[in-house]
Amino acid sequence: MFRSVLVNLLVRPELSITEWVEEMHTVPLYAIISGFEPGNLPGVGTFYDFFPRLWGSENKNATRKKKSKKYRKRKPQKGKKGEKAPINKPGRIERLVQWILPRLDQKKELPSDRLFTFFQSQFLTVSAKMGLLGEMDKLNAAGDGTPIETSARHRSQATCDCRAQGLANCKHPRIYSQPDCDSGWDSSREKYFNGYHLYMINASDSPNDLPLYPRLNPASTHDSVSFVLSSVEFTQRFTLGTFDKILLDAAHDAEAIYRLIDQQNQEPIIDLNKRGKKNIEMGGDIRISPEGVPICPNGKKMRPNGYDKSQNRQKWRCSPSCGCSTAKYGRTFHTHSKDNLRLFPKTSRETDQWKTIYKRRTSVERSNKREKIDYALEAGSHRSTMMWYIRIYGIMMCQHIDAWYQHSKDEINIKELVQLV
């Protein structure tokens, strides 16, 4: 049954389950590849009876369908042109991280765990053995969110007859067909939408931009909130290797996120969201720029001069030609990550090494593009979070299958070249 779902996504991802069953009747080859006899195909109802076996809960959604009138939130604030909407509650990330840090070892069972366990054992394991994820003892991961539009508006029905009685200010609860969805701002399409906020973690060093872990949140959820939840859940479940660096964009630039990543023994590679333009006074004649670069007394930016592993500090140097010091070697200064993880990361943002690593962050954007465009993720007309997770995991599995095919094809080409030589 699940093989047939994967064949559907690989050849005709825009088709619904009902249309796919009809397609298998029309094209017997699809039925044969799925493992069915052309004249003995399962019905649409059989597929939908099978799907709950992949879901670890009787409820097909994360929240109950009946909600009070307060559930109808106001639309989130618009972001600037081309930028994501700002977080609507200042200090929320700090409070969330403070709550979650003491609970890092307390794994909570999720309904989607069955899907991830199958995905990890049958797909991630194979890709890891092929070397398609990177170095398993020093994996680098990237994270980013993307909007998933599921419907034009909220769908709900009343639980009372207040409207028939002419009562306008009804406070009775309503029943929502998509209780886990709400309204969000889509910065790329510059419009409001109703649906989910999909947060994806992928292997940034993968030559095929392979995905590792998805999480569905309400559309109004900010990237930074999604990352905190996704990072902890994924770290608790991934058993194939250890992560070295986490690559994130400026939407994740919060001090609490740096602490969370450091607590998980990983190195944050995060672009700065420049909040101010004033230099920071250090109590001496050295100041720190908003980018975390020391500025000498003459007002010139100092250059990185290596990392001292024995004392966990970044070395900076100003050349003798600057004239800010009488020393032959020039003026030197040290910054410690423990003083400010955000401004003084282990790998300085001023180094070519940091810039080279950060370039790989776009791999998660390419992975999200494949899911939404190549595999028509938003074409799924589902009403439950269960079905959206099944569709997302199915598409992720197809991405890995594509990578296996490309890898085997490359190996054959290499063998042919060796024989020719």
Does residue 299 lie in a domain region?
yes
How high is the pLDDT of residue 312? 79
Same domain, 132 and 235: yes
Same domain, 32 and 137: no
Does residue 349 lie in a domain region?
no
Alpha-carbon distance 260 to 248, whole Å? 13
pLDDT tens digits, one per residue of 124-137: 999 999 999 999 99
- Domain of residue 237: give its range: 83-151+199-272+357-415
Does residue 179 lie in a domain region?
no
Q: What is the CATH number of the domain that holds 375?
A: 3.30.420.10
Does residue 74 lie in a domain region?
no
Last residue of a domain, one of 322, 344, 366: 344
Alpha-carbon distance 394 to 116, whole Å? 11
How high is the pLDDT of residue 158? 82
Alpha-carbon distance 368 to 407, whole Å? 21
pLDDT tens digits, one per residue of 379-400: 988 989 999 999 999 999 999 9
What angle (nearest 5°) sits at the alpha carbon of residue 34, between those of residues 30 and 35?
120
Same domain, 122 and 236: yes
| Under 8 Å between Cβ of 377 and 389 | no
How high is the pLDDT of residue 146? 94
How high is the pLDDT of residue 124? 97
pLDDT tens digits, one per residue of 151-202: 867 777 788 888 788 887 788 888 888 888 888 888 888 888 899 999 999 9
Which residue type is seen at 183?
A: S
SS (H, E, C) the chain: CHHHHHHHHHHCCCCCHHHHHHHHHHCHHHHHHHCCECCECCCHHHHHHHHHHHCCCCCCCCCCCEECHHHCCCCCCCCCCCCCCCCCCCCHHHHHHHHHHHHCCCCCCCCCHHHHHHHHHHHHHHHHHCCCCCCCCCEEEEEEEEEEEEECCCCEEECCCCCCCCCCCCCCCEEECCCCCEEEEECCCCEEEEEEEEEEEEECCCCCCCEEEEEEEECCCCHHHHHHHHHHHHHHHCCCCCEEEEEECHHHCCHHHHHHHHHCCCEEEECCCCCCCCCEECCCCCEECCCCCEECCCCCECEEEEEECCCCEEEEEECHHHCCCCCCCCEEEEEECCCCCCCCCCCCCCCHHHHHHHHHHHHHHHHHHHHHHHCCHHHCCCCCHHHHHHHHHHHHHHHHHHHHHHHHHHHHHHHHHHHHC
Does residue 169 lie in a domain region?
no
Same domain, 217 and 296: no
Alpha-carbon distance 325 to 328, whole Å? 8
Same domain, 225 and 336: no
How high is the pLDDT of residue 188? 82
Tell whether the model's pLDDT for residue 107 goes beyond 80.
yes
How many domains would you assign to the chain? 3
Same domain, 222 and 249: yes
Does residue 192 lie in a domain region?
no
Higher-confidence residue: 139 or 189? Answer: 139
Does residue 24 lie in a domain region?
yes
Report residue 394 as tokens: 């199915």
Lowest-confidence segment of 95-109, 330-344, 389-403 by average pLDDT: 330-344
Crossing angle for the helix pair 223-237 and 92-100, nearest 10 degrees?
A: 10
Question: Across all residues in the chain, what is the average pLDDT?
Answer: 88
Residue with tokens 């900010």: 222
Percentage of residues in the chain with pLDDT exceeding 70?
Answer: 91
pLDDT tens digits, one per residue of 42-97: 999 999 999 999 999 999 998 888 777 655 566 667 766 666 666 767 788 999 99
Alpha-carbon distance 252 to 231, whole Å? 12
Same domain, 310 and 407: no
**Per-residue confidence at 421, pLDDT binned at 50, 70, 90?**
very low
Last residue of a domain, one of 36, 54, 72: 54
How high is the pLDDT of residue 75? 66
Higher-confidence residue: 79 or 109? Answer: 109
Which residue type is seen at 408?
A: S
Same domain, 403 and 295: no
